Amino acid sequence: MDPHVYPSVGPFFEGWYLRVIDAQQNTSFGFLFGLVLPAATENSTHKMHYSSPTTKENPLVCASLLLNPPSTDKLGSPTACFDPSDYSVLKDGKPVTQDPDDETPPNFEVKISNNLSYIVTPNGSHFSVSIGDHVLKGETTAPVPWGPKGEGPESWLEYLPLPIHWFVYSFRSTVVTYMYKNMDTGEIIKGGSTKSDPPVVAHMEKNWGKSFIKAWVWAEGVDPAADIYFSLTSGIIEELGLPIPAQLSGYRNPKKGIDCSFHPANSEHKLVHDGCMGTTTLEVQSLECHVVFRLYAAPASFSSCLVTPQVDGFRLGCLESYAAVANITAHMTLSGVIDNQIIPMSGLEFGGSFMCKSKCP
């Protein structure tokens, strides 16, 4: 989860994502942001402190709020892009000098101008994001990690030179408090966890690598009352010019002792997707687990096209909904335990050529 050291020459990017799920108020908010070091060309070498891009170039720093208050069906996505000089990241209060490892607890802060502050420590996180008329602030507790000793979805594959990496820092941290305000309309939504109600939760991730891939689906969901949660991504990775289907996924139901994690080295998978209908099914099987994730979100609930990191900067490249319903069936092969769950308010994203008609609408 900690920041990486940027190479002297791109392409390279890293970015973070956080989503708040408040089931009691039927509302969800999130944000994403990142910095792209673009690929060098014959005539230029882009470095960390690249000067202000021209109007012909794609922005190198962007942040988006993801807004799904009860008053709206469509996921809102106000976005702002910045000069790289507005971007600051510190590890333990100092410039980043070495890449992170899984076991060391994170301790870093990212700032983008006066618009974004994201602080992550072993005990929790604080965030404050302001874009246009929209403000989101909050505080979470410590993470609920993917695996032991900070292991992420990729397991040992994380250390391979893949074109992109995906790390789930927390399946569902408890949100102590949060506040959303629309400065234009005056709408204010406040929430937080109490002892009497199911907790408000936050899901946190990080990506890094050369760029987002050409085609993907992503999904995530939590049932705060039952303490059941999942996260997945699946798509096409290109290596040596060859398209390679891949997936990373996990499903947890602690009360039934279900702890399933899948990656390409331990499982087989089948993905069916329809970005026009808002449906996807991922079936994954390992020696220990067999899980089928079925998701649907109404097409009208998806956001406008969101920015995604590419080799030359941020480009519009995916659609996301916070109103998906996940229908999950899990079978523990060795114990025989069978689990069926429906998780509303799940997140669902179609990216690249997996979008409807393979493009932004």
Q: What is the 3-state secondary structure (H, E, C) of 303-356?
A: CCCEEEEECCEEEEEEEEEEEEEEEEEEEECCCCCEEEEEEEEEEEEEEECCCH
Contact 356, 318 (CB under 8 A): no
Residue 76 has pLDDT above 70, yes or no: yes
Q: Is the pTM of this model over 0.75?
A: yes
Q: Which CATH superfamily is domain 12-358 in?
A: AttH-like domain (2.40.370.10)
Residue 55 has pLDDT above 70, yes or no: no
CA distance 304 to 253: 33
Closest to 28 measured CA to CA, from 63, 71, 62: 71
Q: E-strand spans in 254-305? A: 258-262, 268-274, 279-285, 289-296
The length of the chain is 361
The pLDDT of residue 71? 87
The pLDDT of residue 242? 84
pLDDT per residue as tens digits for the range 308-355: 999 999 999 999 999 999 999 999 998 899 999 999 999 999 999 999
Contact 299, 220 (CB under 8 A): no
Closest to 101 measured CA to CA, from 4, 198, 239, 29: 4
> Is 322 exposed, middle or buried, given 0-12, 13-18 or 19+ CB atoms closer than 10 A?
buried
Residue type, 354: F
The pLDDT of residue 47? 45
CA distance 330 to 336: 10
Q: How many CA atoms lie within 13 A of 19 on its CB side?
A: 29
pLDDT-derived band of residue 156, with 50, 70 and 90 as boundaries? confident
For residue 267 the two structure tokens come to 């499982």
pLDDT-derived band of residue 5, with 50, 70 and 90 as boundaries? very high
**Local structure of 180: helix, strand or coil:** strand
Contact 289, 307 (CB under 8 A): no
The pLDDT of residue 56? 53
CA angle 272, 278, 283 (to 5 degrees): 30
Contact 89, 109 (CB under 8 A): yes
Largest separation between any pair of C-alpha atoms in the chain:
62
Average pLDDT along the chain:
93
CA distance 121 to 98: 17
Residue 52 has pLDDT above 60, yes or no: no
pLDDT per residue as tens digits for the range 96-132: 999 999 889 999 999 999 999 999 999 999 999 999 9
User: Which neighbouring-strand residues pair with 238?
Assistant: 243
Domain spans, the chain: 12-358
Q: How many CA atoms lie within 13 A of 111 on its CB side?
A: 9
Residue 48 has pLDDT above 80, yes or no: no
**Local structure of 47: helix, strand or coil:** coil
Mean pLDDT of the region 54-67: 84
- Taking CA atoms, 6 is separated from 74, 158, 165, 224, 252, in Å, by 36, 17, 15, 37, 34
